């Protein structure tokens, strides 16, 4: 039988409504270790405890930020000799990682099924592997690990929807999509300067062994996920690699015409290369001023330094 450890963040959006269904699912499993976070800073100590107990399946009940903090605790400090299999149950406002590589059921139902499979050691058919994104030269906190990096308009859209739409209780996927859509419409109507979400940022970019070159970018992302918000897949390439990279230059050409193709097109998308760029890479170097987001959490580069994105690490995830 696989030993199970569970990390629950009660401060994550969906979890604020209560954990009764989750606790009922765990009740009766005396061998399961369940840690309810007092603070995200508790995660490293919890992981060390789980490692000492030889936990082989680690369930995370929280949003993308909780998963990001757990991945950093696992891969930066290395408390486990062998990385446990991960199971992500959606408990946050944004649950992009759970939607792509996690458990889609409600928390109580999903946890019951997970523990049933762990008890019978019947998880192999439900496991998928994903690369983990690493970012070096992060200001004040060292290397960080996660699955989705965004800069420029992505950061501004997240910040705007947190101010304007989250107080109304909107799902974060919907809120972020509405915020970006509204900003794009203003850009197309000639009123883009009113909110400054869709503007150009000067960003130095180098993929793999390229020399760094500065581009005016409206939106930039890198990810190891297969699907993003609303099932979109805004990346395509002839040569698959571990890290999906996508950039929209500013000003973009005929954006309204190309949005469906950008988000849901196939592997070969006829798009003007000077405005829309996608390539898989082994590493990406970026230099710019201002914040970036990693799984919804905000960071900055060390002053004057490039941040370096790579995806050498792999982890196994339970998909149900």
Beta bridge partners of 58: 5, 86
Residue 315: predicted pLDDT? 98
Q: Is the pLDDT of residue 179 over 90?
A: no
Write down the pLDDT at residue 194: 53
pTM metric for this prediction: 0.93
Q: What percent of the chain has pLDDT over 90?
A: 72
- Supply the pLDDT for residue 305: 96
Q: What is the pLDDT of residue 28?
A: 86
Question: What is 105-116 written as a DSSP string?
Answer: S-HHHHHHHHHH
Give the pLDDT confidence score for residue 196 in this predicted structure.
78
Looking at 2.60.40.3950, 3.30.70.3340, 2.60.200.40, 1.20.120.140, the CATH number of the domain 148-294 comes to: 2.60.200.40
Compute the distance between CA of residue 64 and CA of residue 81 in angstroms, rounded to an integer: 24
pLDDT of residue 14: 86
Q: Average pLDDT in the 105-113 region?
A: 91
pLDDT digits (tens, 9 = 90+) for 246-299: 999 999 999 889 989 999 998 889 999 999 999 999 999 999 999 999 999 999
pLDDT digits (tens, 9 = 90+) for 131-157: 999 999 999 999 999 999 999 999 988
Cα-Cα-Cα-Cα dihedral sign, residues 213, 214, 218, 219: positive
**pLDDT for res 191:** 57
Phi, psi of 247 (to 5 degrees): -145, 140
Domain edges within the chain: 4-131, 148-294
Residue 310's pLDDT band, with cuts at 50, 70 and 90, is very high
Residue 40 has pLDDT above 60, yes or no: yes
pLDDT of 318 over the 90 cut: yes
80 band by pLDDT with thresholds 50, 70 and 90: very high
CATH class (in words) of the domain with range 4-131: alpha beta
């Amino acid at each position: 039988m696989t030993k199970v450890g569970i990390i629950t963040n009660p401060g994550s959006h969906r979890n604020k409504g209560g954990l009764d269904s989750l606790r009922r699912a765990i009740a009766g499993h005396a061998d399961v270790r369940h840690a309810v976070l007092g603070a995200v800073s508790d995660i490293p100590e919890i992981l060390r405890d789980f490692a000492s107990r030889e936990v082989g399946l680690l369930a995370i009940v929280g949003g993308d930020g909780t998963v990001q903090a757990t991945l950093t605790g696992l891969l930066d400090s290395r408390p486990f000799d062998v990385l446990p299999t991960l199971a992500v149950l959606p408990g946050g406002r944004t649950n992009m990682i759970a939607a792509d590589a996690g458990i889609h059921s409600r928390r109580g139902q999903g946890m019951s099924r997970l523990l049933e499979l762990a008890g019978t050691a019947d998880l192999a058919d439900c496991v998928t592997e994903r690369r983990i994104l690493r970012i070096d030269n992060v200001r004040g906190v060292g290397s960080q690990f996660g699955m989705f990096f965004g800069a420029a308009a992505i950061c501004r859209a997240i910040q705007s929807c947190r101010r304007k739409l989250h107080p109304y209780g909107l799902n974060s996927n919907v809120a972020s999509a509405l915020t970006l859509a509204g900003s794009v419409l203003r850009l197309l109507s000639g009123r883009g300067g009113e909110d400054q979400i869709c503007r150009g940022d000067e960003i130095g970019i180098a993929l793999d062994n390229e020399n760094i070159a500065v581009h005016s970018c409206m939106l930039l992302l890198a990810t190891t996920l297969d699907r993003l918000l609303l099932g979109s897949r805004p990346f395509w390439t002839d040569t698959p690699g571990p890290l999906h990279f996508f950039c929209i230059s500013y000003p973009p050409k005929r954006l309204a015409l190309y949005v469906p193709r950008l988000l849901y097109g196939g592997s070969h998308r006829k798009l003007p290369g000077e405005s829309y760029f996608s390539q898989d890479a082994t590493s990406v170097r970026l230099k710019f001023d201002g914040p970036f987001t990693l799984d919804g959490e905000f960071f900055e580069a060390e002053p004057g330094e490039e941040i370096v994105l790579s995806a050498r690490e792999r982890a196994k995830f339970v998909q149900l």
